[in-house]
Chain A
């Protein structure tokens, strides 16, 4: 037991003697959080809209003014030439073009459906449908306006109407920072722990200091634990820093138990560090390790549902996530932080994380050979 303390002491001295690393492990997360968290919004506003109005009736002008009044769209030009509109689309000067064909106003009066044609730059397949949904919503509203106008002048049977009220819980204003901060925090903590712990181990191999350790009676798990503890603590400190930034800079609430979150994060870090040390036993050079680590990290992070909805993934991808610690922590973080989920709510994630942590650490200890 005392041996572990000596080994941990050594790791800490080494980390903090390295001027660059000792600063970077805290500065990089702080700077990246401050810069990256406010950057991302899915909120669509000021979508550049081009209009080709061939109708020029009060109906078409009514629609245009309704569009201009919305915050989603900004009418950036109007033209009569389709080719000009297309060229603007090419040059990214607008991303939606709405064509109002002549006869639009006339068709509203008679029984024919009035046609409209929207052209949307759909390279980004996720924002295009959103723009379309907003555009469609405005058009539908306009349609309703016309109907009610019509009915009030010409009262018929009362129309059935379902009034929809909607609310967003836990994040009333749909503040994206609430969503991004826990996600970016998890990525940073993962990257720092995963990279540094593994590189540290491989570096000892590369320089040869590990031989000197292997020839001592030190126990395998002592050595592995000593390699984990410093990075576990650094990871937790980074997490704390991230939460403080969230509170002070972005005023993100913390609903749940901080203790629970740190407990989960510890399990997570043990899993990640165990995996890192396990992989390091396969790598002879830091370069090799870095590539394998990079590969794993990219897969873990992309699959974790950090920026994409988790449920939309196919079954095999969700199955893969059963062994993906990042996916668990990502969910736990958001649930505990924003919704105040309790240990009872996240018990499944917690158990899984614990199992993964034990497995990966056991693998790391097993694969670490003192005797070739």
Chain B
């Protein structure tokens, strides 16, 4: 036991001496939290639109002003011809063109009908839909305002909305759990697989294996420091999101931390498994970084809800541990629910951990023989 502790201490020192790696270990989650918090958002703001006003009257002017002043848009150009549309789109700054037909105002006053077209750049479907929807809503509002005197308020449905869990529609309710999920699995799997493969590659693993330490102790010794570092990372992310975004943990913090430990453990065992199948560090890095990064970001429900994916992805994503952890962490942090609601996901993570351990032990034994 004493020998083992000495070994763990040595591994710790090894990590702490490399301040650059340590800095990045904590820098990555911090940077991600800040980027998601301050730099990127899914919503649109200042989307470029161009106006092709074939009428040039008071009403089109008013409507244009109303659209531009909404804050969602920024006027890039006023166009003169249909032929210009393709040109502005190809430059990339303009996301939509709004076209007022000739005699728009006159027609609206005389015939009560005028038409307007929105042409959006479909190469960015999300922006295109949002721009179109927002513009339509503004135009409809405008029509309503014109119609109000005529309607005499007789028929009006007034829907109200309550944004549950997240009344101010803050995006960090989504990304803080996502960042924790992504960072933990990547860093844990990466770190463990790489350190163990490194020993293999440089032949130092043989030295360790002939030492009085048992193989399981060697692996544990390598993994324990990362377990602790990752746990500190969780605390750091939680503290950061609380201090910077005021995001509290609604449910039990003890349960949350326990679940995080389970997830860290799962990720570490995944790392060990990767190390048993990799011949050298490049391979380990390739598998753990390239193999895990994109699927975790895209398929775990971190940014993109699984419900919106085609049905098969519901099954494909079942083999991804992050998928379950995201549900767990969102439930505890944001909905404030207890174990009752997440026991299934927790159980799946436990089973996965055991599965990875079993598989690694088998692979490891085969290698030793």
Contacts and interface: CB of A to CB of B under 8 A. Distances in A.
Q: Do chains A and B touch in the complex (CB under 8 A)?
A: yes
Interface of A: 18, 20-21, 24, 28, 32, 35-36, 38-48, 89-92, 95, 108, 111, 113-130, 132-133, 135-137, 139-140, 142-143, 146-147, 150, 156-172, 174-176, 178-179, 184, 187-188, 191-192, 195-196, 199-200, 203, 282-283, 285-288, 290-292, 294-295, 298-299, 302-303, 305, 307-309, 311-314, 316-317, 320, 331, 334-335, 338-342, 345-346
Contacts of A40: 298, 304, 309
Interface in B1-56: 18, 20-21, 24-25, 27-28, 31-32, 35-36, 38-48
Given A166-B119, A342-B90, A317 B285 contact: no
Contact of A169 (B31, B89, B163, B173): B89
B89 A28 contact: no
Given A123-B166, A288-B18, A340-B90, A20 B308 contact: no
B41 A345 contact: no
Contacts of A35: 295, 316
Interface in B147-169: 147, 150-167, 169
Nearest to A316: B39
Nearest to A192: B290
Report the 6 A-B pairs with minimum CB-CB distance, sorted nearest first. Answer: A171-B122, A126-B42, A168-B122, A122-B163, A338-B123, A113-B158
Contacts of A136: 137, 159, 161
Interface residues of B, number: 119
B286 A195 contact: yes
Interface of B: 18, 20-21, 24-25, 27-28, 31-32, 35-36, 38-48, 74, 85-86, 89-92, 95, 108-109, 112-130, 132-133, 136-137, 139-140, 142-143, 146-147, 150-167, 169-171, 173-174, 186, 190, 194-195, 198, 278-279, 281-283, 285-286, 289-291, 293-295, 298-299, 303-305, 307-310, 313, 316, 327, 330, 334-335, 337, 341
B interface majority secondary structure: helix
Contact of A42 (B31, B112, B308, B330): B308
Contacts of B74: 311
A341 B285 contact: no
Contacts of A126: 41-43, 171, 174
A291 B165 contact: no
B119 A299 contact: no
Contact of B121 (A170, A283, A287, A317): A170
A292 B20 contact: yes
B151 A147 contact: yes
Contact of A203 (B85, B147, B155, B282): B282
B299 A121 contact: no
Given A125-B42, A166-B132, A113 B156 contact: yes
Nearest to B46: A311
B28 A294 contact: yes
15 contacts: A20-B286, A125-B166, A135-B159, A137-B133, A139-B157, A171-B125, A283-B20, A287-B195, A288-B18, A294-B24, A302-B32, A302-B35, A311-B48, A320-B39, A339-B90
Contacts of A123: 165-166, 173-174, 330, 334-335
Given A163-B115, A334-B124, A339-B123, A313 B39 contact: yes
A338 B122 CA distance: 9
Given A28-B290, A46-B307, A127-B308, 5 more contacts: A108-B157, A163-B113, A169-B85, A287-B195, A309-B45
Contacts of B335: 90, 123
A125 B355 CA distance: 35
Contacts of B89: 169-170, 339
B185 to A, nearest CB: 13
B308 A160 contact: no
Contacts of B128: 168, 171, 174
Contacts of B303: 307
Contacts of A162: 108, 113-116, 139, 142-143
B151 A159 contact: yes
Contact of A163 (B91, B114, B289): B114
A192 to B, nearest CB: 7
B132 A169 contact: no
Contacts of A313: 39-41
Contacts of A89: 164
Contacts of B21: 287-288, 291
B92 A335 contact: yes
Given A41-B309, A317-B39, A342-B90, A199 B285 contact: yes
B153 A21 contact: no
A116 B294 contact: no
Contacts of A159: 112, 147, 150-151
A303 B157 contact: no
B289 A42 contact: no
B294 A118 contact: no
Nearest to A18: B282
A20 B153 CA distance: 72
B112 A142 contact: no
B286 A295 contact: no
A187 B125 CA distance: 19
Given A36-B299, A128-B166, A195-B286, A168 B41 contact: no
Contacts of A20: 278-279, 282-283, 286
Given A111-B154, A339-B123, A120 B164 contact: yes
A226 B21 CA distance: 28
